[in-house]
Amino acid sequence: MSSKNIKVGIIGFGGIGERHFLSLRHFAPDVQVEAVCDPDEARLEKAKREYQVPHLTTSADEIFALPLQALIIATPNATHYPLVKRALLSEKHVLCEKPFTMNAEEAKELYRLAKERNLVNMVAFSYRFVPAVRMLRDILRKNKLGRIYHLRCHYLQSWLSSPSAPYSWRLDVREAGSGVLGDLGSHVFDLVEFLTGSKILRVKAYARTFVSERKDPVSGEKKKVTVDDAVSVWGEVEGGAFLTAEMSRCATGRGNALTVEVNGEQGGFLVDVEKPQEILACPALMTEYTYFRSNFALFPCPPHFGSFDHYYFQTEAFVRALRGEVVEIPSFGDGFRNQAILDRCIASISEGTWQEC
């Protein structure tokens, strides 16, 4: 498929869907975003006025009736499975947001359908595309650290710290599946396995909801929060590494603080996605970290992308896969694996036990 012929639709045009759009427009202006679907008329109006998208609709049926080759799905989590399934059954390539599905059974089926049809299938584990993450992965895959003792991850945000932060679908277990666990933990578990090439063998998770009711911004009604605000996970990784992961959306003072630290017998490394081109490194005989700049160049990005520049690399990978190039992308197989780990964490939280992954 030459990129001139690639017609893409985006379902879900909230912040993330719009970011995919901007990324495509900036990186692959010859790929046409033909249609946008969202239940919110104001978002469609923006897609028309600011971005001149030709087809705008509130109905998924209309999107599926258009001659599109690929869909980007950035809707609430519970809708991923039916939308992705429909897309695959109508022979469309798909990039789907994370967490991939509501449970591993759904994920497995989507993985199978995509494989059988040989369609491009990608889950938006966007942090795989951060330059410093790539650099750390090369180091770990070459086994430069010897035995790994610790994998220490944080993914901390603060947008739910205030009790007056509004209610949204992300706080409803029926729509989101889980709270910070799936939203941010999905990235963490993906990075652990992507970076090390090793599996998380077992997990023990502990969760808290700090604010149990929040005001609906439209109706003004108080609504019950049915998901976790914070989760801590212990895990054991193949080879014996000790995983500790903390995820919170009530981490007052933190913006989008995703860090992965690896302590091995031959040295230590730390990446922080808010500093996407830097890596803290402690080679074997030193006792303290020093900064290194990664040697991966970033694309020139519009300033408003801030620490989300890695979206361009993600978009690049998706578009290259659509063009038929062989490119390593986080697949539905990775989404299935990730969902299985999330399911085990949910079981661990409710049963208070260690769970095999």
Q: Which residue lies nearer to ligand SOE by CB, 17 or 235?
A: 17
Query: 216 in helix, strand or coil?
Result: coil
Q: Which residue lies nearer to ligand SOE by CB, 97 or 261?
A: 97
Token pair of 125, please? 């584990």
Q: Which residue lies nearer to ligand SOE by CB, 239 or 306?
A: 306
Q: For the CB of residue 48, give the shortest distance to ligand SOE in the complex, in Å.
A: 24
On the 0-12 / 13-18 / 19+ scale of CB atoms within 10 A, 278 is: middle
Question: Minimal CB distance to ligand SOE: which residue?
Answer: 183
Return residues touching ligand SOE (CB under 6 A): 126, 157, 183, 256
Q: Which residue lies nearer to ligand SOE by CB, 55 or 249?
A: 249
Write the DSSP assignment of 296-352 as a string of letters.
Answer: PPPPP--GGGGGGTHHHHHHHHHHHHHTT-------HHHHHHHHHHHHHHHHHHHH-
Query: What is the Cα–Cα distance from 159 to 248, expressed in whole angstroms?
Result: 10
Contact in structure between 267 and 282 (CB atoms under 8 Å): yes
Contact in structure between 35 and 61 (CB atoms under 8 Å): no
Q: For the CB of residue 34, give the shortest distance to ligand SOE in the complex, in Å.
A: 25
Q: For the CB of residue 126, give the shortest distance to ligand SOE in the complex, in Å.
A: 6
Q: Which residue lies nearer to ligand SOE by CB, 68 or 191?
A: 191
Query: What is the Cα–Cα distance from 219 to 27, expressed in whole angstroms?
Result: 39
Q: For the CB of residue 352, give the shortest distance to ligand SOE in the complex, in Å.
A: 26
Q: Which residue lies nearer to ligand SOE by CB, 183 or 193?
A: 183
Q: For the CB of residue 85, give the shortest distance to ligand SOE in the complex, in Å.
A: 22
Taking each helix axis as running N to C, give the angle between helix 104-117 and helix 80-89, from 0 to 180 degrees, rounded to the nearest 10: 20
Q: Spell out the residues 6+ positions from residue 67 whose beta carbon is closer than 8 angstroms to its own.
A: 7
Q: For the CB of residue 277, give the shortest distance to ligand SOE in the complex, in Å.
A: 18
